[in-house]
Structure 1
């Protein structure tokens, strides 16, 4: 059975919500994946990550967030590209800024993905966090 790229992305976000790390998360990425996070409140200089850095970041994130949810508000999929507008909420496992442990962090994300060989080859994030 063939899976569309948009269905694949929905599974990817569900896996992240369920706490996927390591091999479970690696399965979504092409071995040569790059992820670019444009400057935002949490990453003021932005960042570019390869597969190793993505997996390490997911493991670190488990210590910061006790839960997170990705709500896709809008999606466009054409060929090997998917563009998304996503509302994200995360429950904090540690205090961040003025938010206490257990507080909710919220953001609107623009996420642009390119696929190669049926997996995510590039991901560009434009993350707009609500004040914290």
Structure 2
């Protein structure tokens, strides 16, 4: 049975939930990957990340987030393109805004992922955080 890009996108989210970093996370990305995070409450000016920055961000995230969950609400997949609407939640290790350590941060995400050769070559995130 062949793996579809949608299957890979779901496995990618599960790997993040399980705390994947380093090679385990890099295995999902094409070497030329770029991720665009559009401005949001947590990253007010937005951010563009390459593979190195994505992996460094995952390491930093381990220090701030104890656990996280991606609940996929809707998907659209066509060829090398996958769109996901996701409810995200994370238990914080450190306080963020009015949320204490141990509190839960929540967001609704729209993720648009493009694949090349079965690997993520671009990811665009529109992250809508609940007040914190």
TM > 0.5 between the two? yes
The question of 1:88 aligning with 2:67 is answered: no
Question: Structure 1 residue 2: deviation in Å?
Answer: 1.3
Give me the CA root mean square deviation: 0.4
Q: Distance in 1 between matches of 2:24 and 2:85?
A: 24
Question: Structure 1 residue 25: deviation in Å?
Answer: 0.1
- The corresponding residue for 1:15 is 15
- The corresponding residue for 1:31 is 31
Secondary structure at 1:41 match in 2:
coil
Q: Distance in 2 between matches of 1:95 and 1:42?
A: 13
Secondary structure at 2:14 match in 1:
helix
Map residues 115-130 of structure 1 onto 2, 5 A cutoff. 115-130=115-130
Q: Distance in 1 between matches of 2:101 and 2:84?
A: 29
Question: Structure 1 residue 69: deviation in Å?
Answer: 0.2
- Please give the TM-score of this superposition, normalised by the length of structure 2: 0.99
- The corresponding residue for 2:65 is 65
Secondary structure at 1:20 match in 2:
coil
Q: Distance in 1 between matches of 2:111 and 2:17?
A: 16
Q: Distance in 2 between matches of 1:118 and 1:18?
A: 21
Q: Distance in 2 between matches of 1:109 and 1:53?
A: 20
* Cα-to-partner distance string for 1:81-104 (whole Å, 9 max, x where unaligned): 000100000000000000011100
Q: Distance in 2 between matches of 1:50 and 1:2?
A: 28
Q: Distance in 2 between matches of 1:121 and 1:2?
A: 19
Secondary structure at 2:128 match in 1:
strand
Segments of 5+ residues of structure 1 without an aligned counterpart are none
